[in-house]
Amino acid sequence: MTKKNYIYILGCTFIFTLFSCKHSESEYHSITDKIEAESKNYHGTSISSEQFLDGVETIEITEDEHTFLIPERKSQITSYACTECHTKPLNQMQNKEGAKKAHWDIKLAHADLNTMNCITCHNGDDMDNLKSLTGNTIDYNRSYKLCSQCHSKQFEDWKGGAHGKKVAGWAPPRASMTCVNCHNPHKPSFETRWPARFNTQKVKERE
Amino acid sequence: MSGIGKYFKLNLNSATKQTSGSCGCGSSSGGCGTPKEDTSETSYGCGNTSGGCGSQPQSQTHISDEDFDTAVDAAIGEECKKDGFDQVFDVKMDRRTAFRQLTASLMIGAGAVSSSCSVISDDESKEKAQIDWEEQFKGNYKLMTDQEKKATVDRLVRSYQLRKGKNITMSSKNAEEDVLFGYAFNISKCQGYMDCVSACAEENNQDRNSQMEYIRIHEMKDGKGFKFDEADDNYYHEVPAEGHFYMGTQCFHCDNPPCVEVCPVQATWREEDGLVVVDYDWCVGCRYCMAACPYDGRRFNWSTPEVPENEINKNQHYLGNRMRKKGVVEKCTFCVQRSRAGKNPACVEACPTGARIFGNLLDPDSTIRWVLENKKVFRLKEDLGTEPKFWYFMD
């Protein structure tokens, strides 16, 4: 073996290692690296979901560093404003015994009665607004403020976008459903039901 | 060396341009000292290469970079650039193959000519034949220019109109810059209602006969973890069932997709916005991709897909939910016809529990980015290095 051969082999090894270290196809080591690197120069896209929000009345809210749209609520409540019927404070409007009550169909299934009843959220003296636990006024359009008093974890996730749904599309502007768009505030949990479909072919295939 | 050597010998028509200076041929059968111009006959066997032992004219022993490029170009260059019609017909081939190709094209041609030039057939069938002819010899969608994409989409729309008398809209919208689609699935929210599966089948015109479904919802026992062999993905009882949790799988649109790697005809590829798509007109139905996919993300059309006319989603995309044919592979495209327009995929929109989150991974303010950065996310079979863009998380 001459010195030349040694140098030759050394050179080959060097070149080999040089090329084998670099992954041949992608410039990034992982998808998270790629996302991080490519979003540095993010300039926004021309795609917008604004057109899908046509006909949905929204209001803009800002909670911490998150600013986004939520559907307007008052126009969706059948008989808002409540004062159209509730002309007097509630204690002056008590029904006669035996007559059918106005909101007979509402059965509260939200926490237990030690924790909550109607007046935890509603104010008998101001039926057009909701009230916080400390007695402050909360607008019907911002009812999420009421929910977030107890459901703080869900509130955090909702603000960031991990809980809940978008109104229309993924593209900006962000418009997210608010709590009451999916949950019935008087009975917030989801019910059990049958699945939307059953695949009979799959059963045959697997026989 | 022998592999490369073949190229040189075959195409430069002279073995002497091999630059392997040290002539390691064990049994040089001749030519040493006798310059030979045409050695292509003997040059196939690598052991007994005949040329090159210093006896050739000096001018031929070295090959410049330029010559090398022209040589490669002459050998395979054109095939790289050719597409569609040319790729089949404008290549060197032997006599037998040529006859075979000619016969085949004559048959197709005769059929086309008989219907398009016939005096008895009407304009409509002529137009149909013309469209079929052009569709038959169009190139791979991946290589098409924007005009060509538009042309094929227009043909498909017109063809549908001629055949069914109904109008569809078909898009050929390309990937947008600064967009990379990603998906997150909240395991603690999914209740197994399967509304997503239904919405997907309707949106994407999936075959109703075989009840094809892109999405599978797996019902798993609490405390057992992800055990796909013990999970049930075709349950029918009231959900959520006691002691079970639900998780969905579909195409994960891997950033390093093994299915794309194995496709012998490049009928499937990853788009710039991260979607892994299939050109149904280029797919030959070999199903290598199905074998390569570690997530069971792909489906095959064993029969011609059938969808009742009134149920067909007429808002279509070439790479998405347009009608497929028998013998091609299809899969979830994150509803390319919707997502590239700014909408959420049908499954995301249909989910009543908000377990599905979709968005642009490159937008630092998007909700999907918030989920990735603030929740404890993981992916399925992460160790395979397929880099799926589909994350699971829990509340």
pLDDT digits (tens, 9 = 90+) for B316-334: 999 999 999 999 999 999 9
Best residue of B191, B193, B367, B389 to probe chain A, by most A CBs closer than 10 Å: B367
Q: Measured between CB atoms, does B58 come within 8 Å of chain A?
A: no
DSSP state of B282: T
Does ipTM exceed 0.90?
no
- R_g of chain A computed on alpha carbons: 30
A192/B239 CB distance under 8 A: yes
Please tell me the distance from the alpha carbon of residue A73 to that of residue A59, in angstroms, as a whole number.
9
Strand partners, B169: B315
Contacts of A64 in chain B (CB under 8 A): none
Contacts of B357 in chain A (CB under 8 A): 161-162
B360/A30 CB distance under 8 A: no
Which residue type, as a one-letter code, is found at position B340? R
B344/A195 CB distance under 8 A: no
Contacts of A164 in chain B (CB under 8 A): 354
Owner of token pair 């900006």: A172
Per residue in A176-207, pLDDT (tens digit) is 999 999 999 999 999 999 999 999 999 998 88
What's the pLDDT band for B45 if we cut at 50, 70, 90? very low
Q: Is B257 exposed, middle or buried (0-12, 13-18, 19+ CB in 10 A)?
A: buried
Contacts of A47 in chain B (CB under 8 A): 176, 179, 340-342
3 state DSSP class of B170: strand
CB pairs under 8 A between A and B: 154
Within 8 A by CB and 6+ apart from B126, the residues are B115, B116, B118
Put simply, the chain A residues between 83 and 142 with a CB less than 8 A from any chain B CB are none
Please tell me the distance from the alpha carbon of residue B345 to that of residue B313, in angstroms, as a whole number.
14
Residue B217 has pLDDT above 60, yes or no: yes
A30/B395 CB distance under 8 A: no
Percentage above 70 pLDDT, chain A: 93
Please tell me the distance from the alpha carbon of residue B246 to that of residue B216, in angstroms, as a whole number.
10
* Average pLDDT value for chain B: 84
DSSP state of B129: H
Q: Measured between CB atoms, does B393 come within 8 Å of chain A?
A: yes
Pairwise pLDDT comparison (B25 vs A202), residue with the higher score: A202
Shortest CB distance from B395 goes to which of A51, A157, A201?
Answer: A157
Provide the whole-model pTM.
Answer: 0.77
CA distance B282 to chain A (A): 24
What's the pLDDT band for B9 if we cut at 50, 70, 90? very low
What's the pLDDT band for B30 if we cut at 50, 70, 90? very low
3 state DSSP class of B142: helix
Please tell me the distance from the alpha carbon of residue B314 to that of residue B324, in angstroms, as a whole number.
13
- Where does B165-315 have alpha helices with state H? 195-203, 258-262, 288-292
- Lowest mean pLDDT across A102-111, A138-147, B351-360: A102-111
Put simply, the chain B residues between 244 and 303 with a CB less than 8 A from any chain A CB are 255-256
CA distance B371 to chain A (A): 6
Per residue in A122-133, pLDDT (tens digit) is 998 899 999 999
CA angle A8, A9, A12 (to 5 degrees): 85
Best residue of A170, A198, A201 to probe chain B, by most B CBs closer than 10 Å: A170
Q: Which of B334, B333, B355, B348 is nearest to B192 (CA)?
A: B355
CA distance B96 to chain A (A): 39
For A178-183, the CB contacts below 8 A with 24+ separation are: A178/A70, A178/A71, A178/A73, A178/A143, A178/A144, A179/A143, A179/A144, A179/A147, A180/A73, A180/A143, A181/A71, A182/B352, A182/B353, A182/B354
Please tell me the distance from the alpha carbon of residue A168 to that of residue A55, in angstroms, as a whole number.
11
CA distance B318 to chain A (A): 19
- Where does chain B have alpha helices with state H? 2-12, 58-61, 65-72, 78-81, 85-89, 95-116, 123-136, 146-164, 195-203, 258-262, 288-292, 336-339, 346-350, 367-374
Shortest CB distance from B234 goes to which of A38, A45, A202?
Answer: A202
Please tell me the distance from the alpha carbon of residue B79 to that of residue B43, in angstroms, as a whole number.
23
Shortest CB distance from B213 goes to which of A162, A169, A199?
Answer: A199
Q: Which of B284, B292, B286 is nearest to B259 (CA)?
A: B292
Residue B50 has pLDDT above 60, yes or no: no
Within 8 A by CB and 6+ apart from B122, the residues are none
Distance of CA A69 to the CA centre of its chain: 11
Q: Measured between CB atoms, does A23 come within 8 Å of chain B?
A: no
Put simply, the chain A residues between 45 and 64 with a CB less than 8 A from any chain B CB are 45-49, 51-52
Which residue type, as a one-letter code, is found at position A2? T
